A and B are shown apart, each in its own frame.
Chain A
Amino acid sequence: MSALLARLIANRLFWPIVMLLVLFTINLIAFPGFFTVTLRDGHLFGSLVDILRNGAPTLIIAVGMTLVIATRGIDLSVGAVAAISGAVACSIMLGSPEPGNPATVAVAITVALLISLVLGAWNGFLVAVLGIQPIIATLILMTAGRGMAMLITEGQILTVNSPPFKALGSGFWFGVPIAVIIAAVVFAAAALITRRTALGMFIESVGINPEASRQAGVRARGLLFVVYTFSAFCAAIAGLILTANTAAADANNTGLFIELDAILAVVIGGTSLAGGRYTLAGTLVGALVIQTLVTTVYTVGIPPIATMVFKAAVVTVVCLLQSPTTAEALTGFRRRLSIRAGKGVAAS
C-alpha cells in the first residue's frame, strides 16, 4: 500500500494533479454546480467546459513551449506572434470583399500560419545558427513583434464580421467548442509526432546532454529550428482563436502575458526549465491548473483581475519546490528523521 503511494508520489504528474483537484474542490464548495455539464441547444455548457475553452489558447502555446523548454530554451515571443497572426488574418479578411466567405477565411488563416512559420524559423536561426541565448533571441521578436502587429493593423483594433472565423473562438462542433477541438488536435499531433518518431528522444537527449548527443550524431541545429518553428506555429493558432473570440485583432492586447502563462503551465506540469525530460500530459494539467485558478478566483468572489497575485504565488511555490536547495534541505531533514527513528528503535 505504502509502496503504491510512494510510486504515485514519485510520479511527475502527482503534484500537478493534486493541485488541480484542490482547485476543483474549492470550486465545488463555492459553487456546488461546478461539475454539472448540461446540453443546451446541442452545445455543452458548464464551468468545466468554460475552463477547457478559455484554457485552449494557453494550452496550445504551452505545448510548443514544452518542446522549446525541453531543449534548454525558452520562447518569449509567442505573445507577439499570436498578435501578428491575428492581425494578419483580420487584415486579409477586411481587405476582401466578403469576409464571411469560408474561402477567404481559409486564405487568411493559411497566410497567418505561414507567416508564423517564418517568424519561428527566424527565432530558430538566432538560436541554432548564431548561437544567441534563447531568452535574448526571442526577446527581440517579443519587442519588435508587437510593433509589426501594429504596423499590420495600422494601430487600429480591426473588427471583422465573419461568422466562419468567429466560430474558431466561440463555435461548437458536435456540441464541443471548436477551440477545445483545435487544442486537442494540436496536443495529440505534438504527442504523436514527438513520441511516435524519434523527435522526442532527440529533443530530450539534446536538452539533457548536448555534447553527448553531438557525439552520438544527433543534429541539434535542425532540431532547434523545428521546435522554435513549431512553437511559433502554435502561437499563431492560439492567436487566431483569441482574435476570433473577440472578432477583433488588437495588436496591443492579443496574447498579452500569454507567454508567461504558457511557461507557467509547463513548469507546473513538471518539465524542468533546465531542459531534458518533458511531459506534454503534465503541460496539459498545468494549463488546466492555471485556467481553473482563474475560474476559482472568479467563483470565490475575488476580483478576477487579482489572479496575477495568485499566479505569482503559484510560480513562487513551484520554483521553491523544484529548487535544489529545498531538495537538499528535505533530504537532510528526512535523514535526521530516520536517524532519530533508528535511535528510537535501538533504545526500545
Chain B
Amino acid sequence: MTKLLDAPERPARTGGRGGPDNPAARQGVVRSIRNLLTSPKYGPVTVTAVLFVAIFIIGGVRYRGFLSGQVFLNLFVDNAYLIVLAVGMTFVILTGGIDLSVGAVVALSGMIAASLLQTGWSPAAVIPLILVLTSVLGLLVGLMIHIFKVQPFIATLAAMFLARGLCYVISQSSISITDATFVQLAVARIPLGGNMSITPSVIIAVLAVAIAVWVLHATRFGRTVYAIGGSEQSGLLMGLPVARTKVLVYVISGFCSGLAGVLFTFYTLSGYPLTAIGTELDAIAAVVIGGTLLTGGYGFVLGSVLGVLVLGVIQTIITFEGTLSSWWTKIFIGALLLVFIILQKVLTARRR
C-alpha cells in the first residue's frame, strides 16, 4: 500500500535498486519478487513462464533431441490455429465473458473452405468470405449478449450449436482440399537457417498476436476492454463506450475463430464436421493458464500465447515419452486449469 506522504520529493516506488551486497536491497529484491508473484496482474503469468521453462528443461534432460530449436518452433507450427483462437478468447475473457463457440466455428470455417474450394471458388474469395461470415456470427452473439442480456455462456452455446449444425448441413463427411494455393500453403516451410523452419501459418499467428498486443495495450478500445473487466459499472460512469466494446470483443473472437479455422485447414487440408470438438476448452485453458483472470480485467495476449505453448509442450513431452497415452494431455490440462483457477482465487482474495 502506498501511504500518503507529506514530502512530495520522496520517491514512492520501493524495490531493489541498490547493489546486491546491500542487505536492504536484497530484502527489496525478495519483496519485489513476492509482489510480482502475488500480483493478480503479473503473478499467474510469471508462474506460467517459469512452468514452461521448467517443463522444457525437464524434457531436454529426459529425451534426446528435445532441446532443439525446431522442437520449440514446432510448438508454434502445430498450434498456430490455437494461438489465434486464444487471442480472440483473451479479448472475450478480459471483459469477463466467455466464448464456447470457437471450436465449432473453426470446424465451420473448414467446411466452408473445403466445400467452396471444391466447387472451384478462388481462395482469394473464400478466405475473406469466411472471415466476414464468422465476424458476423460474432456480431450476432455480441448483440444477443448486450441487447438481450443473455449470459455469454448461453449465447455462445447457441452459436456453437448453430455452427456445428451448419457443418453437417454442408456435408456429413470429410471433404478434402486439393486447391493448389491451399496445398502450397500447407506444405510451405520458411527456412530460418540452421535447419530450422516455420510455416506461413506461424507468421499469420504471430502477426495476429502482434496486432492484438497493440490493440489491447495502446488503443482506447483495448483499454476499455480491460476497464469492462475491472468494473463495467465504473466504466459506464467514466463515460467509456462500454456497449460498443462489449459487442466488438465477440466480433473479434468470431474473426479469430474464422482465421484459426483457415489456419487449421492449412494444417489438415480437409474439412470435417466433427473436427475441433473441445477446442474451445483448449483455448479457454490456454488463456487461463496464460494468466488471464476468468472474471476479467487482468491478463495479456502474450500470456495466452505462453499458455498455448505450455499445452503444446505437454503434448510434445507425451509424444516423446511414447509410453504415455495422449489422454494424459487432457488430465494434465484439467489439473493445470485447477491449479491456475485456485491461484487466481487466492490472489484476488488476498487483494480484497
Contacts and interface: CB of A to CB of B under 8 A. Distances in A.
**Do A and B interact directly, with beta carbons closer than 8 Å?**
yes
Nearest to B327: A150
Contacts of B153: 74, 135
A148 B326 CA distance: 11
A161 interface: no
B242 interface: no
Contacts of A310: 165
A127 to B, nearest CB: 12
Contacts of A263: 154, 157
A260 B168 contact: no
B172 A143 contact: no
Contacts of A135: 98, 153
A307 B164 CA distance: 10
Most chain-B Cβ atoms within 10 A of its Cβ — which of A139, A143, A256? A143
B144 A316 contact: yes
B328 A151 contact: yes
A320 interface: yes
A130 to B, nearest CB: 6
Which of A131, A133, A309, A313 is packed against the most chain B CB atoms within 10 Å?
Answer: A309
B150 interface: yes
B158 A146 contact: no
A160 to B, nearest CB: 20
B64 to A, nearest CB: 26
Given A135-B98, A147-B330, A312 B345 contact: no
B158 A308 contact: no
B141 to A, nearest CB: 10
B333 A143 contact: yes
A312 B148 contact: no
Contacts of B335: 144
Nearest to A326: B148
A141 interface: yes
Contacts of A256: 277
Contact of A148 (B150, B273, B277, B331): B331
Contacts of B329: 147
A312 B161 contact: yes
Nearest to B346: A130
Contact of A147 (B149, B155, B273, B327): B327
Contact of B158 (A143, A144, A315): A315
A54 to B, nearest CB: 18
A11 interface: no
Contact of A325 (B98, B148, B294, B327): B148
Interface in A115-137: 130-133, 135-137
Given A309-B161, A309-B162, A151 B338 contact: no
A273 interface: yes
A324 B285 contact: no
A135 B284 CA distance: 12
A319 B294 contact: no
Q: Size class of A's contact patch?
A: 35 or more
A139 B161 contact: no
Given A319-B154, A323-B148, A140 B334 contact: yes
Contacts of A145: 334
Contact of A320 (B148, B281, B338, B341): B148
Contact of A144 (B147, B169, B295, B331): B331
Interface in B10-43: none
Given A148-B331, A251-B327, A319 B165 contact: no
Contact of A306 (B169, B326, B338): B169
A221 B172 CA distance: 46
B47 to A, nearest CB: 17
Contacts of B159: 312
B325 A133 contact: no
Interface string A225-248: 000000000000000000000000
B327 A146 contact: yes
Interface in B334-352: 334-335, 337-338, 341-342, 345
Given A142-B281, A151-B331, A306 B148 contact: no
B60 interface: no
Interface of B: 98, 144, 147-151, 153-155, 157-162, 164-166, 168-169, 172, 273, 277-278, 281, 284-285, 294-295, 325-335, 337-338, 341-342, 345
Interface of A: 74, 130-133, 135-137, 139-148, 150-151, 154-155, 251, 256, 260, 263, 267, 273, 303, 305-313, 315-316, 319-320, 323-326
Closest 3 CB pairs of A and B: A144-B334, A147-B330, A309-B165
16 contacts: A74-B153, A132-B341, A136-B294, A140-B334, A140-B338, A143-B330, A144-B333, A150-B330, A151-B325, A256-B277, A263-B154, A303-B168, A306-B168, A308-B161, A315-B161, A324-B149
Given A132-B345, A151-B328, A312-B165, 9 more contacts: A136-B294, A140-B341, A143-B278, A144-B333, A147-B330, A263-B154, A308-B164, A309-B162, A319-B148
